Every structure is written in structure tokens, then in C-alpha cells.
Amino acid sequence: MRKSSSDFLCGLAFLAVSIAFALQMGTLEGKSLIFPRTLAAVIALGGLWFMGKGLILRRLEKNPHPHGDPVAWKLVTIIAVVSMGYALLILWLGFFSATFLFVVTASLLLGDRARGLSCLLGVGVLYSLIFVALIWLVFVKLLSVPTPSGLLF
């Protein structure tokens, strides 16, 4: 799959996750709406960014396949299933634990395995810890916004 196609599909997946979050906000109001609205907006912006990037790259790339790009449907399906699992895990594990697991899993699925799986796992865990800590610091500590809690956190 060409880079432009994978970027565009990644953007579509981000938008789907953003829409799923937006649909779950129905009963929220006031201060409890700040975090999910911000999260959905950031994810949607990321999706639009990747879709735009994919469209721009499409014009710059040479097409080795005259009848279109082969799509890595297996990977697209896995990412979609993992994303839906993430949304369900938030309800059970809580936002921070589920986000940590999702980011690590996504880095293992999408990362470059040239340096080895253990290096990829280490980078994924480190990035996930930093990402979750920053979200916790901004929303819980600085803004005092409630986040979905669960079994672990």
C-alpha cells in the first residue's frame, strides 16, 4: 500500500473513532463534557490532517499500480477492531489504562520492526506513558475535568 493510501485510511479511522466518542457524549453536560469534546476534536483534527496529507502525497507519488493501489485490508480490519476494543475498554478499565494499552498496541501494529520487536515495544511503552501522563496532567490536574474511570485508574 502506498504511503498516501495508508495516511488517508488512517485519517478515516481517526474520524471514525472521533465520531464514536461524539455519539457517546449524549447524556453529558457542563464540566464533564469538556474532556470528551476536546478529545473528539483532537482526534478529528488528526484524522483530517492525515487525510489531507494522504491527498497531497497522492499527487506527488508515482503510481506503480496502474489500476489502483492494493489495500492492506487485513491491517485496516485489525486497526478498526482494536479501535472499537479501545472504546469498549474505556468503560471497563477507565480512560487512562485503556489509552495506555491502545497506544502500545497501535505502536506494535503500525511501527517499523526493523530494529526489533523489543525496541518497538520499549518505544511504544515510553511514548504511551508520556502521552497518558500529559493528558492526565492537563485535564485532571490543571483543568479539574473528570475523566472516565474504571477498574484500574
What cell numbers appear for 54 in the block?
494522504
pTM given for the model: 0.63
Question: Which of residues 64 and 136 earns the better pLDDT score?
Answer: 136
**CA 29 to CA 104: how far, in whole Å?**
31
In this prediction, residue 67 carries a pLDDT of 59
Q: Are 98 and 89 in contact (CB under 8 A)?
A: yes
Hey, what amino acid is at 73?
W
Helices (H), the chain: 3-23, 34-60, 73-93, 95-110, 117-135
Hey, what amino acid is at 104?
V
Mean pLDDT of the 39-65 span: 82
